[in-house]
Amino acid sequence: MPLHAAAIFLGSLLLFLVQPLVARQMLPWFGGAASVWTVCMVFFQIALLAGYAYAHLVIRYLAPKPRAVLHLALLTLSLLWLPIAADASWKPSGEDAPAPRILLFLLATIGLPFALLAANGPLAQAWFARARPGVSPYRLFALSNLASLLALLGYPVLLEPWLATAGQVWVWSGLYMVFAIVLAIAAFLDSRLPATHTRGDAAEAGAAPAPSARDYLVWTGLAALGSVLLLAVTNHLTQDVASFPLLWVVPLALYLVTFILCFERERAYRLALYAILFIAVVVCFAVVRGVPGLKDSLPAQLVVSAALVFVGCMICHGELANMRPAARHLTGFYLTVAAGGALGGLLVGVAAPLLLPNYFELDIALAALVGLILLRIRSGKPASPVFTAVALGGPLLLIGAQFYKDSAESVISSRNFYGVLRLIEAGSGAERERQIVHGTIIHGRQFLSAERRREAAGYYRREGGGGRAVEARLERGPTRIGVVGLGAGALAAYGRPGDTMRFYEINPAVIAMAKRDFTYLADSKATIETVLGDARLVLERETPQRFDVLAIDAFSGDAIPVHLLTLEALDVYLRHLAPDGILAFHVSNKFLVLPPVVGALAKTRGLHARHVGDRDAASGAAISEWVLLSRDAASLAHARIAPASTDAPARGPAWTDDFATPLRALKW
């Protein structure tokens, strides 16, 4: 038991440590988009399926000695992948399709080691079952999930905040070499056991019937539903907060907790209890999603999202545990569960962006769980009419209301790798405006009346920090302005003949919407340039642009791309900024306190920094928040900036590509 337990524990620890580690390395290359983690999860689940398939086939068709030789050869070959550091040659050019490039990068960086780590669980359990006939190997499955849970929770709390990415890579690579040695010993010992089944195996085979085709189909469906729920809730969280490891691993950790509980303790799952809890959680989730005060509360979002993953996955995995076969069929069972997980990942990561105009996969998963509950209850004894009406009618009405709300509000809705864009019209008379909404956040607005359509609205109005910075520079003659994040193109309203405005935008759908549905770009008297691609990668390749103002406003939903707020990014911006130019960071955010983050960057590089908060004169409501940086103090002392600004706060260490901690900036 100790040897097999060590192999299981170490393999699972490494398997789940590498997931946030490798995703974090590549996140800056793809705009910090929430979808990066979703596509990574698709790869992880497919690689898990490949590992389980390998384990199933070698256990079933190879004798112990050839099996050991093959596995030792693959373990040796996998060492060529070490260390698992990201190769900069995989950075996209801006015109590449992101998802295929991410999948190829992961294959080249961790492909074989990840597949072997995935195969380790069922292989080591099968070896244990041969060495200890009659002793259930399913407790090792619970140990595997416990190690996975420790890895997921330990990474954002113990590893990421204290160790740079390069150090994390070497720690993981060293532990993988230790794992390879332990597994080699286990494979050698298994090769010395006889190839024939023991008496215990034969007795078990005679007593336990082989799983039917229906069993395999149900296992696949349950695993897929749990996977869809996990990824859909993670998308919901990361699109409006930030895409960083903590918000990746908390839902995944809860997903694993449900596996541990359901497979370790049979009494942990009771359908009736979790059916009632599920209905209550769905109602709470709908309330939090729809009530403005709660919708903007990070604790409320985290608690209800965590509850949704936990309760929903307890139902899926509890039903799986109740249907698990005898140990003789465990590799086939794990292979089927992995296939279901991969199917769920493909549905959320590939099919949903192509087929659904909004993030409806979460609502569909909730409706499917309702159907599962009713089917299971009716398979025992008939459900009461009251329970059936509440269980089926309540969630479905909430889901229908969400579909109706989104379709009624939107003039146009589109979805791609970078998220959901909606075009909305609101207000009346002279106040009627058109809005571009990314996720749940308005990212640009324009008045529709002829007399006001050339007026910069929203974050870029004259009273805001961005508007003040631009007007301060326009007084000096022809001006060159750069903008990271296009939105509706409102900054173009300030353009005059002789001015140049260069917009960097990673999402082609935003460029199409800004040109088709808004008139800022067409109406501007300045020379307008739009550049497709991640702004930081593009700026790294461009010759110095000598911008008089460079505005950084590249949010997705309300989530910040962390890689645009690091010292390395700041150095790129400064290379393109005129000596007395102004670097304007838009830092309005519901969930993160960003002025101290930008202030820390300025302090580290010896820049002057001013904080500008823009509030509505009548209501006092906050409209936007900016932090303006410059090498030249006189630039920020201009009459358009100084009276409306204060010294920018600077707290904590400056973020770097290797060491960024959004956790400390969260508005708890």
Rounded mean pLDDT, 612-616 = 87
Residue 430 lies in a domain: no
Nearest to 488 by CA among 536, 463, 524: 524
pLDDT at site 328: 72
Q: Are residues 385 and 493 in the same domain?
A: no
Question: What counts of helices (H) and strands (E) characterise the chain?
Answer: 24, 12
Beta strands across the sheet bearing 441-447: 410-416, 419-426, 433-438, 441-447
Of the residues 405, 424, 451, which one is the last residue of a structural domain?
Answer: 405
Q: Are residues 399 and 475 in the same domain?
A: no
Rounded mean pLDDT, 639-657 = 89
Residues 6 or more apart whose CB falls under 8 angstroms from that of 33 comprise 98, 243, 417, 418, 419, 506, 556, 561
pLDDT band at residue 523 using 50, 70 and 90 as cut-offs: very high
Residue 284 parent element (H or E): helix 271-290
Q: Decide which of 592 and 636 is more confident.
A: 636
Residue 455 lies in a domain: no
Q: Are residues 356 and 487 in the same domain?
A: no
Nearest to 275 by CA among 403, 394, 438: 394
Distance CA 41, CA 345 (A): 7
Least confident of 114-118, 276-280, 423-427: 423-427
Q: Decide which of 120 and 208 is more confident.
A: 120
pLDDT band at residue 324 using 50, 70 and 90 as cut-offs: confident
Nearest to 319 by CA among 382, 383, 368: 368
pLDDT tens digits for range 150-164: 888 888 777 877 788
pLDDT at residue 545 tops 90: yes
Structural domain boundaries enclosing 648? 462-665
Q: Are residues 145 and 274 in the same domain?
A: yes
DSSP 475: T
Q: Are residues 371 and 494 in the same domain?
A: no
Least confident of 61-70, 435-444, 576-585: 435-444
Rounded mean pLDDT, 183-208 = 66
Rounded mean pLDDT, 451-457 = 89
pLDDT band at residue 397 using 50, 70 and 90 as cut-offs: low
Q: Are residues 140 and 63 in the same domain?
A: yes
Distance CA 293, CA 613 (A): 21
Residues 6 or more apart whose CB falls under 8 angstroms from that of 511 comprise 486, 505, 530, 532
pLDDT tens digits for range 47-78: 988 988 898 888 888 888 888 899 999 999 99
Residue 552 lies in a domain: yes
pLDDT at residue 454 tops 60: yes
pLDDT at site 94: 63
3-state SS, residue 291: coil
Of the residues 386, 405, 424, which one is the last residue of a structural domain?
Answer: 405
pLDDT at residue 330 tops 50: yes
Rounded mean pLDDT, 240-252 = 72
Work out whether strand 419-426 and strand 410-416 pair parallel, antiparallel, or are unpaired. Answer: antiparallel
548 touches 480 (CB < 8 A): yes
Helix, strand, coil % over all residues of the chain, rounded to 5: 60, 15, 25
Of the residues 405, 420, 435, which one is the last residue of a structural domain?
Answer: 405
pLDDT band at residue 403 using 50, 70 and 90 as cut-offs: low
pLDDT averaged over every residue in the chain? 84
Let me know how long the chain is. 668
Q: What is the pTM of this model?
A: 0.78
pLDDT band at residue 426 using 50, 70 and 90 as cut-offs: confident
Rounded mean pLDDT, 514-536 = 93
Rounded mean pLDDT, 218-244 = 83
Residue 452 lies in a domain: no
Q: Computed from CA positions of residues 260, 262, 266, 269, in that sequence, does the dihedral angle turn out positive or negative?
A: positive
How many other CB atoms are there within 10 angstroms of residue 165's CB atom? 17
pLDDT at site 244: 65
Distance CA 579, CA 546 (A): 8
Residue 71 lies in a domain: yes
Residue 179 parent element (H or E): helix 165-191
Rounded mean pLDDT, 503-523 = 92
pLDDT band at residue 204 using 50, 70 and 90 as cut-offs: very low
| Exposed / middle / buried, residue 450 (Cβ in 10 Å: 0-12, 13-18, 19+) | exposed
Q: Are residues 477 and 355 in the same domain?
A: no
Share of the chain above pLDDT 70, in %: 87
Q: Decide which of 169 and 207 is more confident.
A: 169
Q: Are residues 490 and 374 in the same domain?
A: no
pLDDT at site 465: 92
Q: Are residues 37 and 121 in the same domain?
A: yes
pLDDT at site 28: 76
Residue 440 lies in a domain: no
Q: Decide which of 367 and 632 is more confident.
A: 632
Q: How many domains does the chain have?
A: 2
pLDDT at site 595: 92
pLDDT at site 628: 96
pLDDT at site 202: 46
How many other CB atoms are there within 10 angstroms of residue 579's CB atom? 10
pLDDT at residue 640 tops 90: yes
3-state SS, residue 243: coil
DSSP 356: -
Strand pairing partners for 585?
Answer: 552, 627
Place of tokens 């729920």: 229
Rounded mean pLDDT, 258-283 = 84
Share of the chain above pLDDT 90, in %: 30
pLDDT at residue 425 tops 70: yes
Q: Are residues 29 and 168 in the same domain?
A: yes
Distance CA 315, CA 258 (A): 9
pLDDT at site 64: 86
pLDDT at residue 638 tops 60: yes
Q: Are residues 491 and 375 in the same domain?
A: no
Residue 426 lies in a domain: no
pLDDT at residue 273 tops 60: yes
pLDDT at residue 407 tops 60: no
pLDDT at site 282: 86
Rounded mean pLDDT, 28-38 = 76
Residue 86 lies in a domain: yes
Residues 6 or more apart whose CB falls under 8 angstroms from that of 267 comprise none
Nearest to 628 by CA among 653, 601, 654: 601
DSSP 592: B
Whichever domain contains 26, its CATH number is 1.20.1250.20
pLDDT at site 198: 44
Nearest to 594 by CA among 661, 499, 548: 661
Place of tokens 């996955």: 313
Q: Decide which of 233 and 401 is more confident.
A: 233
pLDDT band at residue 203 using 50, 70 and 90 as cut-offs: very low
Could you give the dihedral angle defined by the CA atoms of residues 474, 475, 477 and 478, in that order, rounded to the nearest 10 degrees?
0
Q: Are residues 363 and 491 in the same domain?
A: no
Whichever domain contains 653, its CATH number is 3.40.50.150
pLDDT band at residue 213 using 50, 70 and 90 as cut-offs: confident
Distance CA 572, CA 252 (A): 35
pLDDT at site 191: 84
